[in-house]
Amino acid sequence: MAEDQSTRDRVRALVRDVLKNAVPADELEHVSGASETPRARVVPMVSESPAAAEPAFARDESSKTVITEDDVRGLEDGARLRVAEGARLTPLAADIVRERRIELVRRTPRRGSRAEKIVAVGADHGGYPMKEELKKLLIELGHRVHDFGTNSTDAVDYPDFAHAVARSVSEGGADLGIIIDGAGVGSCMTANKVPGVRAAACYSVKVAKNSREHNDANVLTLGSGTITSAEMREIVSAWLSTEITEERHKKRVAKIEAVERQYRS
């Protein structure tokens, strides 16, 4: 037990050290020796045409708040790396970016309940009817929808559709994702296996808001057998209109990402 506690203490200390020394992407040019590094440019979060949705980025790490040396290692000189708006770089990552003159392109998220977002949606056979209602709601709210199926009530396997939605969010094809199955639990488990995804199974407006404000959830899972259509509309509307803003919450999300990196192969 003492050894386990010692290991946990070392991990906590390591995370604190990483966050303390991380360099904001926008401040790289002000770091000693970084004058030759290209300034990070702001680009639209998504493109209007499908053909333009695949920009010439060598790598997309925009789902992360902290960029480590593992995220930039292997990039060629002058490569373009997409990062989140408020992303921070560890000292070693910043060194690699400077030395290889890597261009950082910031992904600027849309903000507020009225800002248009691309929302990836998916469901199994049990969630299909509610998914169709969800799509209408999203359009009413002014968002764009990418439907990954299923397209009927014929029996299917929920992990297939949860994976498709989560991968779209992870790779930047969608801003957010919403998945519906019978209980919302299995899809949540599946989505959270995808790097960069923070999925939350929500059954109330309060939990939905908390998952965004405190945990920066980028995928919402719902159970068609546990909520009504009216509750679905309230939960989704609250989830989409809530943003993470406080630094104390952002630091805790960064710790979630640090845990994920420990187990990355």
What does the domain layout of the chain look like in residue ranges? 2-110+247-262, 118-240
Say what the alpha-carbon torsion angle 166, 172, 173, 177 is, to the nearest 10 degrees: 40
Q: Give 47's pLDDT tier (boundaries 50, 70, 90).
A: very low
Helix, strand, coil shares, percent, the chain, to 5: 45, 15, 40
- pLDDT at position 149: 93
Helix/strand/coil for 133 = helix
Alpha-carbon distances, residue 176 vs 70, 145, 194, 219, 259 (angstroms): 25, 10, 14, 6, 22
Please compute the mean of the pLDDT values over residues 168-172 and round it to a whole number.
Answer: 91
Pick the more confident residue, 83 or 38.
Answer: 83
pLDDT of the residue at 192? 96
> Token digits for 126?
């049990």
Q: Which of 36-40, 80-84, 144-148 is predicted least confidently?
A: 36-40
The 10s digit of each residue's pLDDT in 226-248 is: 999 999 999 999 999 999 888 88
- Rounding to the nearest 10 degrees, give the CA dihedral for residues 264, 147, 160, 130: 120
Say what the pLDDT of residue 71 is: 85
206-229 mean pLDDT: 96
Confidence at 48, pLDDT banded by 50, 70, 90: very low
Pick 55 or 121 by higher pLDDT. 121
- pLDDT exceeds 60 at position 85: yes
Is 214 assigned a catalytic role?
A: yes
Q: Across the chain, what does the average pLDDT equal?
A: 82
| Banded pLDDT at 194 (limits 50, 70, 90) | very high
Q: For residue 19, which of 265, 258, 237, 217 has the smallest C-alpha distance?
A: 258
Q: Please identify which of the residues 125, 163, 214, 249 carries the catalytic annotation.
A: 214
CA neighbours closer than 13 Å in the CB half-sphere of residue 51: 0
Cα angle: 121, vertex 193, 168; to 5 degrees: 35
- Mean pLDDT over residues 249-263, rounded? 89
**In terms of pTM, does the model score above 0.75?**
no
- Distance from C-alpha of 196 to C-alpha of 182, rounded to nearest angstrom: 24
Hey, which bits of the chain come out as E strands?
A: 23-24, 41-43, 59-61, 66-67, 80-84, 88-89, 103-107, 118-123, 144-147, 176-181, 199-201, 219-223
3-state SS class at 219 = strand
Residue 74 has pLDDT above 50, yes or no: yes
- Running DSSP on this structure, what letter comes out for residue 117? -
Q: Is residue 172 left, alpha or beta, with left meaning phi > 0 and alpha meaning psi from -120 to 50?
A: left
Question: What is the share, in percent, of the chain residues with pLDDT greater than 90?
Answer: 47
What homologous superfamily is domain 118-240 in, according to CATH? Answer: Sugar-phosphate isomerase, RpiB/LacA/LacB (3.40.1400.10)
The residues near 157 (Cβ < 8 Å, ≥ 6 apart) are: 124
